């Protein structure tokens, strides 16, 4: 029997599935599996999947579709079996933020506590930064390890940080890169499938999710963040993992530095016991939960205290050094961060008036970094690790006329001009400070049996 024009051996035509989602109908398991497998095998082109993704963003997906999509993406590659490693395997993943560099602190701290952290991360997504781009700012650091090498680093060091590969979560590797440049990130269903497919492929026992909310997050309000958190926690629990989600603030950048090299500098500050207070506190909170879920600490509070000890003793920094060495990176940057790529020029963003900084439009600050070259506008773009923004003021701070609010690190005058204007417009200054400070952690979701 001959096939209808354009249909495949499965009987589906991609265009029909795009139209089905466009019209708000539910796709079947077979249809979703066909799309994921076809795209992963490069049988379906980017433009058709981009159209389908946009339809999914605009029309939403059912719980059943989300579960099938997650499962199909997970099964696009292998699921690691790390049962030969005796320690518990624990990871953390963030839904994406600006200046969010906690993963680089958490992996070595938690490994220094005796747990195993098999972290599969992503690149920059939309206006948010990506762990892999930050790690690659360290000269030589290889985020593309084979499964065999990944396993070896985990066995030797306790933590390893890689990207989605052709072997592990290959569907997310392709879909993630496409969503980055097609305005199709902001869907709780697609975010859930992306995050949970790669986390479930890691062979972990427990997972801490950092679900961001605020103007710099993909989920702008707490209700949407809680919906995403519940979706992911449910997905993890269905697969017998211990999962908690912390809804944390992303209404202004985390820490003071935004940009790949600059963020590594701030990570080293935290690993040396310093760093900006918001970043340090969030690292303690997330690590506290990781140690608690990994059964190293009886309570989250005890996990936080243990984390502080691991940082002040230098053990966490030494773990980071070991991981950098084992993944081919130049560990001399730990002692001399000037060895990280440096931008050729800097320019200050000055305050036009005196008063209090009442808002830092966080998404625009992230976009300003992408414009400098710190992120991608097309899939094939190379990221410039050296560029970025250093904030000298955070929300609540007093500012004088002519005082520097931020410094832009740049390599292209044209890009710097656009970026500087965006940062300037992002800083709102008023006569009096805000009445209320937003909390760092808004809520915790998940049946973790928490003991504080």
Contact residues toward ligand URA (CB under 6 A) are 95-96, 122, 125, 185, 190-191, 194-195
- Of 184, 276, 121, 219, the C-alpha closest to 445 is 219
Q: How far is the CB of 98 from ligand URA (least distance, A)?
A: 13
Is 122 or 276 the residue whose CB approaches ligand URA more closely?
122
Give all strands (DSSP E) within 75-196, no chain letters: 90-94, 117-121, 159-163
Shortest Cβ 182–ligand URA spacing (Å): 12
Cα gap 129→97, rounded to integer Å: 7
Say if residues 137 and 180 touch (Cβ distance below 8 Å). no
CB of 409 to ligand URA, least distance (A): 25
Distance between CA atoms of 129 and 131, rounded to whole angstroms?
Answer: 7
In the residue annotation, 393 being an active-site residue is answered as no
- Count CB-CB contacts under 10 A for residue 328: 14
Catalytic one of 121, 194, 351, 448: 194
CB 210 within 8 Å of CB 286:
yes
Burial of 214 (C-beta count, 10 Å sphere; 0-12/13-18/19+) = buried
Pick between residue 168 and residue 190 the one whose CB is nearest to ligand URA. Answer: 190
Compute the least distance from the CB of residue 178 to ligand URA, in Å. 11
Q: Tell me whether residue 164 or residue 407 sits nearer to ligand URA (CB atom).
A: 164
Task: Report DSSP letters for 29-95, one per residue.
Answer: HHHHHHHHHHHHTT-S-HHHHHHHHHHHHHH---HHHHHHHHHHHHTTSPPP--TTS-SPBEEEEES
Tokens for 307, please give them: 């984390």
Contact 98, 362 (CB under 8 A): yes
Minimum CB separation of residue 114 from ligand URA in Å reads 26
Question: Pick the catalytic residue: 100, 172, 249, 384?
Answer: 172
Q: Closer CB to ligand URA, residue 243 or residue 271?
A: 243
Q: Which element (helix H / strand E) includes 245? A: strand 242-249
Q: Which of 89, 151, 179, 321 is catalytic?
A: 179
- Nearest-approach distance from CB 122 to ligand URA, in angstroms: 4
> Is 149 in the active site?
no
Q: Give catalytic status of residue 198 as yes or no.
A: yes
Whole-number minimum distance, CB 127 to ligand URA, in Å?
A: 12
Query: 378 catalytic, yes or no?
Result: no
Helix (H, G, I), strand (E, B) or coil at 338: helix
Provide the token pair at 102. Answer: 């906690």
User: Catalytic: 93?
Assistant: yes
Among residues 212 and 319, whose Cβ is nearest to ligand URA? 212
Q: Are strands 159-163 and 117-121 parallel, antiparallel or unpaired?
A: parallel
Catalytic residue among 123, 151, 198, 321: 198
> Residue with CB nearest ligand URA?
194
Of 184 and 361, CB closest to ligand URA: 184
Q: Is 380 exposed, middle or buried (0-12, 13-18, 19+ CB in 10 A)?
A: exposed
DSSP E strand boundaries for 274-364: 345-350, 355-360
Q: Of residues 93, 134, 212, 242, which has the active-site annotation?
A: 93
Closer to ligand URA by Cβ: residue 57 or 270: 57
Catalytic residues: 93, 172, 179, 194, 198
């Amino acid at each position: 029997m001959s096939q209808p024009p354009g249909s495949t051996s499965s009987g589906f035509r991609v265009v029909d599935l795009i139209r089905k989602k466009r019209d708000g109908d539910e796709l079947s398991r077979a249809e979703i599996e066909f799309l994921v497998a076809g795209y992963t095998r490069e049988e379906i082109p980017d433009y058709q999947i981009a159209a389908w993704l946009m339809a999914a963003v605009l029309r939403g997906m059912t719980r059943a579709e989300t579960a099938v999509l997650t499962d199909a993406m997970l099964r696009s590659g292998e699921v690691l079996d790390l049962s030969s490693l005796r320690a518990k395997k624990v990871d953390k993943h963030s839904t994406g933020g600006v200046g969010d560099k906690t993963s680089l602190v958490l992996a070595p701290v938690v490994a220094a506590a005796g747990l195993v952290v098999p972290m599969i991360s992503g690149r920059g997504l939309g206006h948010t930064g990506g762990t892999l781009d930050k790690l690659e700012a360290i000269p030589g650091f290889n985020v593309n390890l084979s499964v065999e090498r990944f396993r070896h680093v985990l066995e030797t060091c306790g933590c390893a940080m890689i990207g989605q590969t052709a072997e592990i979560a290959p569907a997310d590797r392709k879909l993630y890169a496409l969503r980055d440049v097609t305005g199709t990130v902001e869907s709780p269903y697609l975010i859930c499938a992306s995050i949970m497919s790669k986390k479930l492929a890691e062979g972990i026992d427990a997972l801490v999710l950092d679900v961001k909310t605020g103007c710099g997050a993909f989920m702008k309000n707490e209700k949407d963040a809680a919906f995403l958190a519940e979706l992911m926690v449910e997905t993890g629990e269905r697969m017998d993992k211990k999962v908690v989600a912390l809804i944390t603030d992303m209404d202004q950048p985390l820490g003071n530095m935004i940009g790949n090299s600059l963020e590594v500098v701030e990570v080293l500050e935290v690993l040396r016991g310093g760093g900006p207070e918001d970043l340090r506190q969030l690292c303690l909170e997330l690590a506290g939960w990781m140690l608690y879920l990994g059964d190293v600490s009886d309570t989250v509070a005890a996990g936080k205290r243990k984390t502080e000890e691991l940082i002040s003793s230098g053990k966490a920094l030494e773990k980071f050094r070991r991981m950098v060495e084992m993944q081919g990176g130049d560990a001399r940057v730990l002692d001399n961060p000037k060895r990280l790529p440096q931008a050729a020029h800097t320019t200050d963003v000055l305050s036009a008036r005196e008063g209090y900084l009442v808002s830092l439009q966080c998404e625009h600050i992230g976009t300003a970094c992408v414009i400098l070259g710190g992120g991608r506008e097309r899939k094939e773009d190379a990221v410039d690790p050296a560029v970025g923004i250093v904030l000298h003021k955070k929300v609540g701070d007093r500012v004088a006329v002519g005082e520097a609010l931020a410094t832009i690190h740049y390599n292209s005058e044209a890009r710097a001009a656009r970026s500087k204007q965006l940062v300037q417009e992002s800083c709102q200054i008023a006569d009096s400070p805000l009445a209320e400070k937003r909390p760092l952690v808004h809520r915790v979701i998940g049946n973790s049996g928490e003991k504080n």
